[in-house]
Amino acid sequence: MTFSRRLSRRFFQTALVASAAALAAGYSIAQTFPDKPMRIVVGAPAGGTADILGRVLAEGLSAQLGQPVIVDNKPGAAGILGLQELLKSPRDGHTLMIAVNGLVSEIPHVVKMPVDPLKELRPLAELGRTGLLMVGSPQLSATNVKEAIAYIKANPGKVSYASYSTGTMSHTIGLEFNKLAGTDMLHVGYKGSPPALTDVAGGHVAFMFDGPATSIPMIKGGKIKVFATTAPTRMKALPDVPTFAELGYKDLTEVVWMGLWVTPDVPAAAQTKLRDAVMKVLQLPATRERFAGLGLEPGSNATPDELIRGLRVAFDRQAAQLKAIGFKPE
């Protein structure tokens, strides 16, 4: 046998051993994972959409995986504090994060981030999707979008709108609204929806673009008004609320989705087991009913790789939109 053939044979044998070891390690992880309590990091305050989803998912995952699952709120900095918490945690799959897709596709354009989220995050599953709602103070005389625009124009430089965090779609959709409607609302950023909605309800801020999970209870309680949704179709939870597209503002059609994320270096076997458990939880009638009550449509069945490709497209589109409206980081 020649030297080259012996070397080739040795390389092949080594590769087989390595492959078998990897398969054995993966099988071992799949059998034992999770082997301790788990944690879902939520980069938003208690009571927000991400927090509510986190608690629904934590209960379901605990039943599926046989381990306690706690929700750990790390609000602020447009979700970056939650991201930092995930990144400094052990990369073994026992720490997960719930965050909106904008953390990857929007925030990097407007806030200096400590890492590149397209490289440091991997979406395991899309949990739910929805449009935003344009809501307003109950003290406003306006009852529809046309009257809201008239009110803003009648008070130049005096009307403000809130967002649940600077740099998110809640912020940038207001900039796009200003451009399309010819208004000049001033932006006020908050650390989450609950404190922002409190100020809207109190009349300290006139308007807000918010997710339905936090807005719907206040709308139904008469604490805030609702004008329109950025969703492509009317929401089942608010069938009387028109879409912006219906009102002639098709460029204000935007959808956000909440995802469950890990770091890419979490063992593949653990990622697979986690995704399988999550997908089972999302199919439960109780989960679907809870999500519908929050104004959320079920998430897609897109694979992690499909979600990543979509995020890259959204990242590029957001960059073009921000440039087109002349957005300047605050």
- Bridge partners (DSSP) of residue 225 are 136
Instruction: Flag whether 247 is in a domain.
Output: yes
Whether 14 has a pLDDT exceeding 90, the answer reads no
Binned at pLDDT 50, 70 and 90, residue 9 comes out as low
Clarify whether residues 142 and 228 are in a common domain: yes
Mind listing the pLDDT tens digit for each residue in 129-142? 999 999 999 999 99
- Reduced to 3 states (helix: H, G, I; strand: E, B; else coil), residue 204 is coil
Separation of alpha carbons 263 and 6, rounded Å: 40
Within a domain: 155: yes
- Residue 150: both structure tokens together: 């008239």
Higher pLDDT pick, 273 / 14: 273
pLDDT band at 201 (very low <50, low <70, confident <90, very high): very high
- Average pLDDT on 189-211 reads 94
Q: Are residue 155 and residue 228 in the same domain, yes or no?
A: yes
pTM of the model: 0.75
Position with higher pLDDT, 197 vs 3: 197
Residue, of 327 and 269, whose pLDDT is higher: 269
Whether 302 maps to a domain, the answer reads: yes
Which range (190-194, 231-235, 261-265, 300-304) has the least confidence? 190-194
Is residue 211 included in any domain, yes or no? yes
Please give the residue that has the higher pLDDT: either 324 or 92.
Answer: 92
| pLDDT for the residue numbered 5 | 54
Q: Which of 221, 252, 283 is the last residue of a domain?
A: 252
- Domain boundary, last residue among 252, 267, 286: 252
- Per the listing, tokens 């959409």 go with 49
Residues 242 and 155 in one domain: yes
Residue 138 lies in a domain: yes
Amino acid 18: pLDDT: 41
- 167 found inside a domain: yes
- Whether 204 and 182 map to the same domain: the answer is yes
The DSSP bridge partners found for residue 39 are 70, 95
Per-residue pLDDT tens over the stretch 65-84: 999 999 999 987 778 899 99
214 and 241 in a single domain? The answer is: yes
Residues 168 and 237 in one domain: yes
Q: For residues 241 and 235, what is the distance between their CA atoms, to the nearest angstrom?
A: 8
What pLDDT is attached to residue 30? 63
For residue 182, the domain's CATH number is 3.40.190.10
239 and 316 co-located in one domain: no
Q: Are residues 178 and 266 in the same domain?
A: no
In tens, the pLDDT along 215-270 reads 999 999 999 999 999 999 999 889 999 999 999 999 999 988 999 999 999 999 99
- What pLDDT shows up at residue 158? 97
CB 34 within 8 A of CB 268: no
Same domain, yes or no: 204 and 272:
no
For 128-178, what is each residue's pLDDT tens digit?
A: 999 999 999 999 999 999 999 999 999 999 999 999 887 778 988 999 999
Average pLDDT over residues 30-51: 89
Using a pLDDT cut of 90, give the percent of the chain over it.
Answer: 66
Give residue 21's pLDDT.
Answer: 41
User: Is 321 a residue whose pLDDT tops 80?
Assistant: no
Q: Choose the final residue of a domain: 194, 220, 252.
A: 252
User: Is 24 in a helix, a strand, or coil?
Assistant: helix
Q: Please check whether residue 9 lies inside any domain of the structure.
A: no
CB 246, CB 230: distance < 8 Å: no
| Strand 160-163 with 207-210, pairing | parallel
Q: How confident is the model at residue 305 (pLDDT cuts 50, 70, 90)?
A: very high
Q: Which of 17, 80, 76, 75 is nearest to 51 (CA)?
A: 75
**Mean pLDDT value across residues 197-211:** 97
Same structural domain, 262 and 201: no
φ, ψ for residue 95 (rounded to 5)?
A: -115, 125
> Domain limits at 306?
35-131+256-324
Helices (H), the chain: 3-32, 49-65, 80-87, 102-105, 107-110, 117-120, 145-154, 169-181, 193-201, 212-220, 268-283, 285-293, 304-324
> What six digits make up the tokens of 121?
């995050």
How many Å apart are CA 36 and CA 60, to the nearest integer? 16
Residue 290: the pLDDT is 87
Task: Return the DSSP state at 242.
Answer: P
Mean pLDDT of 10-21: 47
CB-CB contact of 216 with 224 (8 Å): no
Q: Say yes or no: 147 and 231 in one domain.
A: yes
Same domain, 168 and 92: no
Q: Number of structural domains, the chain?
A: 2
Q: The domain spanning residue 283 has which CATH number?
A: 3.40.190.150
Residue 224, domain member (yes or no): yes
